[in-house]
Amino acid sequence: MELPFFKYYFSVSLCVFFFHLSISAQEQKVADSLVKIYQEGNLDNSEKLELLRNLSFNEVNNLKLSLKYAEELIALSKLEKNYLYLHRGYFQKGNKLRLLGDLNKSLDAFFKSEEAATKAKYNIGQGTAYSSIADVYSVMGNSKNAQIYYDKAIKLLRKTDNSIGLASALLNAGDEYSKNKKYDLALRYFKESGEIFKKADYLSGTAYNLGNIGMVYAEQGKDVLAKNYISQSIKILEELKDYYAISDYLTYMSDIYLKQNDWTTALNYAQRSLELAQRYGLKDQISNSNLKLSELYQKAGNTAESFKYYKNHIAYRDSVTNLKSVQQMADLRTDYEVSQKQSEVDLLNQGKKNRQIMAISSAVSAALVFLLAFGMYRRYKFIKKTNVIIEEEKNRSDHLLLNILPEETAHELKQNGKVLAKKFESVTVLFTDFEGFTYYAEKLSPEKLVESVDYYFSKFDEIMAKYDLEKIKTVGDCYMCAGGLPFPTDDHAFKMIHAAFEIAQFVRDSKNNNPLNHTRFEIRIGINSGPVVAGVVGTKKFAYDIWGDTVNIASRMETNSEPGKINISQNTYELIKETINCEYRGEIEVKNRGMMKMYFVNSPKYKTV
C-alpha cells in the first residue's frame, strides 16, 4: 500500500501555523469573526493586507472563498509593492489550489511565492515555498524534482530559527524517500524531525513522525516496531481529533495483522478505519478502507462480502481502477452457467440426442453464417474507420510539416523524399539576441525561463507571418529569420526593417507594461542582405536552414548592435536608404571580418523630400 500523502495537510504556513484537519473548526471560527471587520471596510491598506492574509488562511470550509481572499491579497500587495505580503498571497493561493486538486496552478503559485520571498529577503518564506513546491511535485509523482526542492528547503530553513518549518520539511522529505524504498535515509530524516518536534512540544508533528516511522517499519517487515509506533501515533491523533491520518494508520495496522495471519484483528482495524472515514466524510479513506475490507474477505473465501466492499471502493473512487478483477469475476460466473447448461443437456433422454444434434448443427450453421456476415460487416466498418483515422493523421502530419518547413519545400519533400539546395541571389537575414540572457538563465527556474522566452518568440512568429517572412530557427535566446525566400521578392529588405521595428517596439512595451511580473529583457537586432543557399538538413528531424557569408555577417550585425537598436550592414542600407531614415555609425571592427560600415535604423517612417 502506498504511503498516504500527509503533506497535503502538513504544510507550514507563513506564520508557522500548520494546516491540517484537526484545527479546521478553530480556524473557521477565526475566519467568521474576521469577515465582519472585512465587511466594514474601515482599514488602511497595510491593515487590510494582514486581514486578507488571515482570512485566506483561516477560511477552511469554503476553499473558493479562501482563494478569492488570496487573489485580493496578491492584487493589493502588487499595488503597495509589498513583496512580503505578495509572497504570503501566492503561498495561500498555492495551498488552496492544491487542496482543490489543481496541481499545475498550485505549483505556479508556489514558484511566484518563492520569487516574492526572495525579493523581500525573507528566508523563512523561501524555505516554506520550496517545501510546498516539493510537496506538489511529490503528489504529481515527480520524485526527482520533489527531492531537489526538499533539499533546497531544508538547506535554507537550517539557516533560520523556524524549527517547526525545518522539521516539517524533513518529515515530508523522509516520506518521499520512504515511497521510493530508501528506508534508511527516510528513517534518518524522521529521527531528526522527531527530535525537533519533541523539543518544540509540537504534538501534531510528533504524531505524524511516529506514524511515518511505523509505516517504514511495516514496509520492512518489522511488525512489532511498526505496531508500537503507529499505536503511539494513533493515541496522540485521537486526542487531537485528526481523523484523516488515523484512518490511514488503522489501514496500515490491518496490513500488519494480516501478514501475521491474525485475520480477526486485521478485520477489526479495517472496519474501524472505514467507520471513522464514514463518520467524518473522508472519501479517500472510505475508498481505501473498502478496498482493504474487500481484500480481507477475499482471503477468507467470502466472495460475496469481498465483492460488496469492492463495489463500494469503486463507487468512492469515481472510476473503475481495476476492470480486470471485475472481468475475471464475470468470466467465472459465465463459466459456471455454461457448465450448468451442459449438465442439463447430459440428463436429457438418449432418444432425443440425434434430433438435438441435428438442431444444434443447424443452429451452429446459421450462427456461422451470421458470424461470417457480421464479421464482414465489422471488417467493412473497421476499414472505413481506419481510413478516416489515416486521413486525419495524414492531414495532421501535413500540418506539422508546414509548421517546420516552408510550403514549397514541404511539397518538394513529400513528392521526392528529399529537397535540393537552392541559391537565392538576394535575401535579407535578421538575428535577435537578448541582453544579459546568460545571467538570467542562471538565476531563473527552468519553468520560468522557458515561459519568458516563449512569451517573446510567440510574438515574433506572429510578426513574421504578418510580413510574409520565413522563420528559420531559434537557438537558445537567439531568433533567426529571413525574407526573400523560398519565393524571391524585391521588397524583402523593406519588410524586414518594418518587422524589426515591431519586434523592438514589442520588447520595449513588454518591459514597461509587465502586470504579471514576468522576466523581461532588452534585445539587440542585426540585419544583413545578400545571397544565401537554402535547403533541408537531416533525415528524421527535418530542419530548413540557410548558409553563406550573408548569414555570418547578419550575426555580426547583431553582435555589434546595442540594446533596443537595429543595426544594419552596408548591403541592407543600399536597399532601403531611399525610404528609411538611418544613422551612419562609421566603420567598426568586426571579428574575423575587419572594418565594416554599419548603420542604426532610426525610424520606420518614409523620408520626406
pLDDT one-digit tens code per residue, 546-560: 888 999 999 999 999
525 lies in some domain = yes
Q: Which of 48, 107, 101 is nearest to 74 (CA)?
A: 48
- Alpha-helical runs (H) found in 141-182: 143-157, 163-179
Query: Which structural domain, as residue segments, surrounds residue 592?
Result: 417-603
504 lies in some domain = yes
Domain limit, last residue, from 354, 383, 404: 404
Q: What is the mean pLDDT of residues 347-364?
A: 62
Dihedral of CA atoms 598, 602, 608, 609 in degrees, nearest 10, equals -20
> Residue with C-alpha cell 542585426?
526
Strand residues in 264-307 grouped as ranges (E): none
Do residues 256 and 387 share a domain?
no
Domain limit, last residue, from 122, 154, 189: 122
Q: In this structure, what CATH number is given to the domain that contains residue 279? A: 1.25.40.10
> Distance between CA 310 and CA 283 in Å, rounded?
15
Q: If DSSP codes are grouped into helix, strand and coil, which group holds residue 525? A: strand
Q: Which of 468, 4, 531 is nearest to 277 (CA)?
A: 4
> Distance between CA 66 and CA 58 in Å, rounded?
8
Report yes or no: 578 and 572 within 8 Å, Cβ to Cβ: no
* Predicted confidence (pLDDT) per residue in 448-495, tens digit: 778 888 888 989 999 998 998 999 888 888 999 999 988 888 899 999
129 lies in some domain = no
Question: What does the DSSP assignment read for 418-460?
Answer: S---EEEEEEEEEEEEEETHHHHHHHS-HHHHHHHHHHHHHHH
Region for 93 from its dihedrals, namely left if φ exceeds 0, alpha if ψ lies in -120 to 50, beta otherwise: alpha
37 CB-near residues (< 8 Å, 6+ apart): 43, 51
Asked whether the predicted pLDDT for residue 1 surpasses 60, the reply is no
Residue 433 bridge partners (DSSP): 524
- The size of the chain, in residues, is 609
Asked whether the predicted pLDDT for residue 607 surpasses 50, the reply is no
> Distance between CA 283 and CA 397 in Å, rounded?
44
Domain limit, last residue, from 351, 374, 404: 404
Question: What does the DSSP assignment read for 561-601?
Answer: --TT-EEEEHHHHHHHTTTSEEEEEEEEEETTTEEEEEEEE
Q: What one-character DSSP code corresponds to residue 15?
A: T
pLDDT at 252: 81
Q: In this structure, what CATH number is given to the domain that contains residue 444? A: 3.30.70.1230
485 lies in some domain = yes
Do residues 254 and 383 share a domain?
no
Report yes or no: 167 and 202 within 8 Å, Cβ to Cβ: yes
Asked whether the predicted pLDDT for residue 327 surpasses 90, the reply is no
pLDDT at 561: 92
Asked whether the predicted pLDDT for residue 503 surpasses 90, the reply is yes
DSSP H/E element including 3: none
Q: Which of 475, 497, 474 is nearest to 484 (CA)?
A: 497
* Predicted confidence (pLDDT) per residue in 78-98, tens digit: 998 999 999 999 999 998 888
Rounded to 5 degrees, φ, ψ at 472 are: -95, -55
Burial classification of residue 181, based on how many CB atoms lie within 10 Å of its CB (0-12 exposed, 13-18 middle, 19 or more buried): exposed
Cis peptide before 486 (omega within 30 of 0): yes
> Distance between CA 438 and CA 415 in Å, rounded?
43
Asked whether the predicted pLDDT for residue 181 surpasses 60, the reply is yes
351 lies in some domain = yes
> Distance between CA 217 and CA 225 in Å, rounded?
6
Number of structural domains the chain divides into: 4
